[in-house]
Structure 1
Amino acid sequence: MEIQTTIHNNNHKKIIKVSIISFSVILVLYFGISMFFSNHFYFGSVINGINASGKTVGEVDKELLMKSKTYTLELKERNGVKEKINGTDIALKYNAKDKIQVLKDNQNSFAWIFAIFNTKASEMDGIVTYDDKLLKEHFDKLSCFDSKKIIEPQNASFKYSDKGYAIVKEVMGNKVNEKSLYAGVVNAINKGDATLNLYTKNYYINPKYTSTSQKVKNTKILLNKYTSSKVTYTFTGGKQVIDGSIVNNWLGVNKNLEITFDKEKIQSYVRKLDDKYNTFGKERNFATSLGTTVKVSGGDYGWLVDRSGEIKDLIAAIKNGQTITKQPNYTQTAASHDVNDIGNTYVEINMTNQHLWFYKNGSLVVQGDVVTGNVSINDATPKGVYKLKYKEKDAMLRGEGYSVPVAEFMPFNGGIGIHPATWRNKFGGSIYLKNGSHGCINSPASLAKTIYDNIDANTAIVCY
C-alpha cells in the first residue's frame, strides 16, 4: 500500500515537470516569434497587392518601389478586349515616405497568433504619385471611347409576325460610363491593382430593360392585345378590314416601354378612307331633267369623314382589342351611300336654261323659270352641289346698297339662296346675263312658296 502511494506521487511530479517544461518551451517560442514580428509583417499580409508576409519594412519598400517602375494596369473589357495603362506613361513614382513603417508600427507583434486566423490585405492611398494630365490624356485615348467602336446599349424590343409579337433580345453594347471608370482607374492605380474588370465593376451603361424584365413581358402582352383587334369598315360595294397586319405598323414602343401610336400613319390611313367615303366637294355625274348627264363639282354637299374623331375612335377600339364593324364618324352626311349620294330629293338649277326643278322622293313637286346671278358684273351663281342650310319666313335680304324683304328665304351657299322676286315680272331667258341677281335664285312667288312648303334643311341644291 505504501509502495503504490509512492509511485502515484512520483507520476504526479513527472506530469507537473513535463507541463512546466512544455509551457516554458511554448512561451519561449511565442516570445521568439513575437520578437520576429517586431520588425516583420504578419504571415499572410498583403500591402497594395504586394505580398508582405514575413517581410521587413525595407523589403516591402523595395518591392513597392520595383512595382512602381514596372506597374501596368490592365483593363478587361467586354468581348475579350484588353487595354493597358503603363506606369511609365503617366510618370508613376513610389512615394511612401514612412507610411509602410507606420503600418508596421501599428502591428502588435504579440498579437501575431490572432493574425493567423484573421489575415487581411492593407490598402494604402498616396504611396504612389503620377501626372494627372498624362493619365487623363491616356485615359481619353482608350479604344473603349472610340466613337467608331462604341455599340450603344439597346433595350429589349419587339418584332411582329403573323403569329403576333415576339421579344427581341436586348443589345448590351460596350458603352462605358466615362466618369465612373475614370474614378475606378484612379482608385486602382492608388491601390496598385494590376487589373480592372469593367464588367464586374459595372462600369458599362447597360440597357434599362432586358428580355427577362417583367415590364417587357407585360408590354408584349399589351401589344398582342392591340393587334388582336379587328375593325371592319363597310361601304357601298365592299368593305375594308383593319387587323394586326395593319395595326402593328401604327404601334411603337418608347424608351420607357410605353406603347405609342403613330398619328401620322393613322391619319394617312383615314385619308384613304376618304376616297371610299367622302363625296364632299367631289365631281359628280349628274343626270339632268333634260335627259343629259353633266359633271358637277364644288359645293359643300356630301359625306365628310371626321378625321380627328375617327382616329380617336379607332385608337380606342384597338386599345380595347375589339372586333367591330362600323362606319366612319362623319362631320357631315348625305342622302345616300350610293354612287348618287344626292338621293331622289333635290333642287336642280340649270343656269344655262334658267330653269329650276324640285324633286321629292323621286317625284317632281314643282318646276319653273328663274333668274340667277348677274354675269355681266361677275355675280354669277357659283356652280356646285350644296346643302340647304335652313329656311326662313319673312326674311330681310341686305347687301351693298339694298335691303329687300322676302316672304321665303332658303340659303344654300353663304348669303346665296332661293327666294321670291316679286319685283320681277319676267323670269328665264337671258335676263341673268345683264340684269341678274346678286347671286341668289330669283323665283316667281308661287314657285318659291311651293319649294319652301315641301323642302327640308340639308336637301341637295344642284347648280350647273
Structure 2
Amino acid sequence: MYQMSAIQKSDKKHGFIFYFAMFLALLFLSATIFFQSHFYPGTMINGIKVSLLNTASADRKISEAASAYVLTLRERGNGKEMISGTEIGLIPNVDNSSTLLKSEQNKIFWAFSFWQTEALEFGNAFTYDELLLSDKFETLGCMDESRVIRPQNATLRYGNGSYEVIKEINGNLVNKGLLLFYIKNAANNGKGILDLDDKQCYIDPKLRSNSTKVANTKAKVESYLASKIIYQYQDGSETVDSEEISQWIEFDDELNILFNHDKMKQFLKELAAHYNTLGKEREFITASGKKIIVGGGDFGWKVDIKGEVEELAEAVVRCETLYKEPKYLQKGAARGLNDIGTTYIEIDLSRQYLWYFDEGVLVAQGAVVTGNVSSGYKTPDGIYSLKYKIKNAVLKGHNYRVGVSYWMPFNNDIGIHDASWRSQFGRDIYLTRGSHGCVNASFYLAKTLFENVSVGTPVVCYY
C-alpha cells in the first residue's frame, strides 16, 4: 500500500496553511473594501442603527428619523410635554453627514474598531431652526408663570411655646438657560427623553428641613424665648416673655434671625405711655398755694424708642432675665406725672412775677416783664428746662441788638436775662411795652438766678 513520505506530508501541510492564509488575506481585503463605504457592525448615529449600511442608506435612515423625531420632557408631578422634530424644523446636519462620519472609520486596521466603542457611536447628526425652537420653548407649559410654583426654603414657625420646622417646597421653577441647553443638546443628538430632574433643570430650595442650619437656628431662636424682661413703672409693670418675643422674631430667606423693629417700636410706644410725661398736663401748686393744670413745653420724661429697641434686642439675644428701665432721650426731675420736683423756676405770666425754689426753699423772687402781647410777642406758657447759661451775651433779633450780663434760655431763643434799660418791672407793662418774648429781670434777680440755678432746671410758665 502506498504511503506518503514525511516530506510529502510536510509539503501538503505547508500548502494548506498557504491557501488558508491566502483565504484570510482575501477575506480581510474584501472586508476592508466593503467597510470603505459601509459602517461597521454596531455603528449608531444619534442612536440610529446604521450597521453595515452604506452612507446613502444611512442618510435616508437619518432623514426619516428627523421627520419622526419627538422629544419627551419628563417634568415634576408626573408631567410630560412633547417637542416634535417638525415643530423645530429638525433636519439632518449637512456639516456632519454620514459620509463625513464614515471617513472617521476608514482605518486600515478596521477590525480593531470593534473594541473601540467611541468609533461606533456618533452624535450631532441633527440641526434645527433656532427661531422655531425658541418659539416652541416659550410656549412650553413649564414656562407658563401661572403654573409655576416657586421653591421655598425650609423655615420655622412659632406655636405653643416652641418653633416647628416647616418643610421646604421644591416647586417647579425651571432654570430656563439650563433647560434650553439640554433641549438643544437632545435635538442635536436625537435623544428622545429629557428628564428635567435628572438634569437638575429645576431651581431647588437652598435650605432643606434636615439641614444643620435649620437645626442650629431652631435651637438658637428657642433659647431667645427663655428671656424675660420686666419693665416696672409707677402703677404697674409690663413683662416681655416668649409670646411677645415670638411676635418680633422673623427669618430671612436663608433662615437668619431678624428682629422686626417696627413691631418692637409699636410695643415700646405703648409702653412709653407709662413713662413719658413730655407735653402732658400736670397738676402744679403755685407759690401762692393755688392748684392749677399746666402742660405743654419740652420738659419731662421721654423714652428713646430707637435706642431701647437696640437694648431690648440685645437683652433677648443674651437670653437675659432682668428688671429693666427704658432708655431715655430726656428725663424729668422726679418720677411720675408730677415730675417737676421741688427745684424749679416758676413764672406767673399774668402777675408778671418769678420765683426760684431749690428743694422747696425759696432762693430768689422778683417782678419781671415778659413778651409784648399787643405786638404778638406773648411769652408761651408750658413747662421747659433751662438749656444753658452764659455771661455777657449779645442778643440779636429783628431791629435790635443788645448786650446782657446774664443769659439763661429755656425755650429756643426765649430766656431769662437782665434788662438794664428798664427801671420798672411787673404790673401790666408787658401788655404794650413788653419784650420780644424773653423774661426781663432786674440785674440783681438775674445775677442771683445765674449763680444758683443749674442747667436742666424746670421752668414753669403759666397765665
- Regarding TM over 0.5, the answer is yes
Structure 1 residues 29 and 316, CA, compared in 2 at 3 Å: closer, same or farther? farther
Structure 1 residue 134: Cα displacement? 2.0
Identity %: 39
The letter for the 2-side match of 1:156 is A
Tell me if 1:197 matches 2:195: yes
1:89 to 87, 104, 107: 87
Distance apart, 1:331 and its partner CA: 2.7
Residue by residue over 1:228-277, the C-alpha shift from the partner in whole angstroms, topping out at 9 and shown as x without a partner, is 44333332222233344334444443344443444444444443344232
Q: Is the 8 A contact 1:277 1:305 kept in 2?
A: yes
**Shift in alpha-carbon separation, 1:147–1:422, aligned structure 2, 3 A:** closer
Q: What is the SS of the residue equivalent to 2:178?
A: helix
Q: CA deviation at 1:463?
A: 0.3
Cα–Cα, structure 1 residues 51 and 452, in superposed 2: closer, same or farther, change >3 Å?
same
Q: TM-score, normalised by structure 1?
A: 0.80
Instruction: Write out per-residue CA displacement over residues 105-140 of structure 1, whole angstroms, 9 at most, x where no aligned residue.
Output: 45955347747xx69861322x33433322222222
State how far apart, in whole Å, the 2-side matches of 1:446 and 1:113 are. Answer: 121
Q: Partners of 2:27 and 2:40 in 1: how far apart?
A: 14
- The corresponding residue for 1:253 is 251
Choose the corresponding residue for 2:212, options 188, 193, 214.
Answer: 214
Say yes or no: does 1:386 pair with 2:373.
no
Q: Which residue of 2 aligns with 1:110?
A: 111
Output the CA distance in 2 between the equivalents of 1:362 and 1:188. Answer: 95
Aligned match for 1:167, one of 140, 165, 178: 165
Count of matched residue pairs: 445
Query: In the superposition, relative to structure 1, how do residues 376 and 60 fare at CA in structure 2: closer, same or farther (>3 Å)?
Result: same
Partner of 1:123: 122
Q: Work out the CA distance in 1 between the residues paired with 2:288 and 2:108.
A: 121
Q: Which SS does the other structure have where 1:166 is aligned?
A: strand
Measure the CA separation in 2 of the matches of 1:265 and 1:34: 90
Aligned ranges 1:351-390 → 2 under 5 Å: 351-390=349-388
Q: CA deviation at 1:58?
A: 6.8
**Secondary structure class of the residue paired with 1:418:** strand
1:227–1:30 CA distance, 2 compared to 1 (3 A): farther
Contact 1:44-1:119 within 8 A present in 2 as well: no
The 8 Å contact of residues 404 and 418 in structure 2, kept in 1 or not, is answered as: no
CA distance in 1, matches of 2:273, 2:338: 15
Q: Aligned partner of 2:431: which letter?
A: L
Following superposition, the deviation at residue 47 of structure 1 comes to 3.5
Alignment map for 1:380-459 (pairs within 5 Å): 380-392=378-390, 400-401=399-400, 403-406=402-405, 408-421=406-419, 424=422, 426-444=424-442, 447-448=445-446, 450-459=448-457
Contact 1:169 1:210 in 2 (8 A): yes
- Structure 1 stretch displaced more, 52-61 or 273-282: 52-61
Relative distance call for 1:342 and 1:28 in structure 2 (3 A) is farther
Distance in 1 (CA, whole Å) between partners of 2:333 and 2:62 is 97
Equivalent position amino acid for 2:136 in 1:
H
Could you say what the CA RMSD is over the residues aligned between the two structures, in angstroms?
A: 3.9
Judged with a 3 Å threshold, the aligned counterparts in structure 2 of structure 1 residues 107 and 375 are, in CA distance, closer, same or farther, namely: farther
Judging changes above 3 Å, is the alpha-carbon distance between structure 1 residues 35 and 201 closer, same or farther for their aligned structure 2 residues?
A: farther
Aligned equivalent of 2:345, options 347, 354, 358: 347
Larger displacement relative to structure 2 (91-100 or 390-399): 390-399
In structure 2, distance between residues paired with 1:260 and 1:298: 38
In 2, the alpha carbon distance for the partners of 1:30 and 1:144 equals: 60
Q: CA deviation at 1:85?
A: 0.9
Contact 1:61 1:100 (8 Å CA) reproduced: no
Shift of the 232–29 alpha-carbon distance from structure 1 to 2, 3 Å rule, reads farther
Secondary structure of 1:98's counterpart equals helix
Deviation at 1:200, TM superposition (A): 0.1
| Deviation of 1:56 (Å) | 6.8
Structure 1 residue 390 displacement after superposition: 3.6
Cross-structure match for 2:47: 49
Q: Is the 8 A contact 1:384 1:463 kept in 2?
A: yes
Give TM-score, length-normalised by structure 2. 0.80
Q: Deviations for 1:273-322, whole angstroms, at most 9, x for unmatched residues? A: 44232222333333334444433233221122333333332333333333
3-state SS of 2:300 partner = coil
Indicate the residue corresponding to 1:9 in structure 2.
none
Say if 1:34 and 1:112, in contact at 8 Å, map to a contact too. no
Q: 1:328 aligns with which of 326, 329, 332?
A: 326
